[in-house]
Amino acid sequence: MILNKAKSADAVGAYVKKGSGLADGIMGGGIFRFQCFDKDGNLKWEDETHNLVVNEGLQDMNTKYFKGSGYSAAWYIGLVNNSPTPSYAAGDTLASHAGWVETTDYSGNRKAVTFGTATTADPSVIDNSGSVAQFSITGTVTIDGAFLASVDTGTSGVLFSVSAFQSPGDRSVVSGDTLNVVYEFSLDAA
């Protein structure tokens, strides 16, 4: 007699790979560029500083862009005097900024910022290089940085950003000097 036995086995395997999907974000930041000229028009010094966009500035940007609430295109540059080094915090506002002091040793109020057209590239950049903010210095003072605000005087507006000079730090200006300031803001898809 013949006896036949057969063994069989089936194996099935499967896996699911979860797609990573699309991830998108945005990063933004600004730079202040300074050029100081003496009374004869000679370049005394120049500097470039990155800024801190404060919480109030971030909230203002989101509210105005996404909710369309109370928008105004008015922006002004002010100067900081807090030798030797100012201290900035994300919670700073125009009404409350314990780590730094505004200087007003120049003619007029904070200087109006007229922004040009934003670029369409990544990053998208906007600045006031076509209409530089110009400060006519009226005293001997130390400048430690700058800030961007929504009002030309007082503390009732929005503080958008603040910036301090890096090494070597603060810079001296004297009566008769002209300080030119450009603010550049970039948004980058991250």
Task: Please report the pLDDT score of residue 22 as a whole number.
Answer: 56
Structure tokens at 27: 């990063």
Task: Please report the pLDDT score of residue 64 as a whole number.
Answer: 86
User: Is 102 within 8 Å of 80 (Cβ atoms)?
Assistant: yes
Tell me, yes or no, whether 134 lies in a domain: yes
Tell me, yes or no, whether 64 lies in a domain: yes
Task: Please report the pLDDT score of residue 151 as a whole number.
Answer: 96
Q: By residue range, what is the domain housing residue 30?
A: 26-189
Tell me, yes or no, whether 57 lies in a domain: yes
Instruction: Report helix, strand or coil for 128.
Output: coil
Rounded distance, CA 37 to CA 178, Å?
Answer: 5
Q: Name the nearest CA neighbour of 76 among 141, 131, 140.
A: 131
> pTM for the whole thing?
0.84
Structure tokens at 10: 């089936």
Instruction: Report helix, strand or coil for 126.
Output: strand
Task: Please report the pLDDT score of residue 167 as a whole number.
Answer: 74
- State which residues of the chain have pLDDT below 50: 1-16
Tally of structural domains, the chain: 1
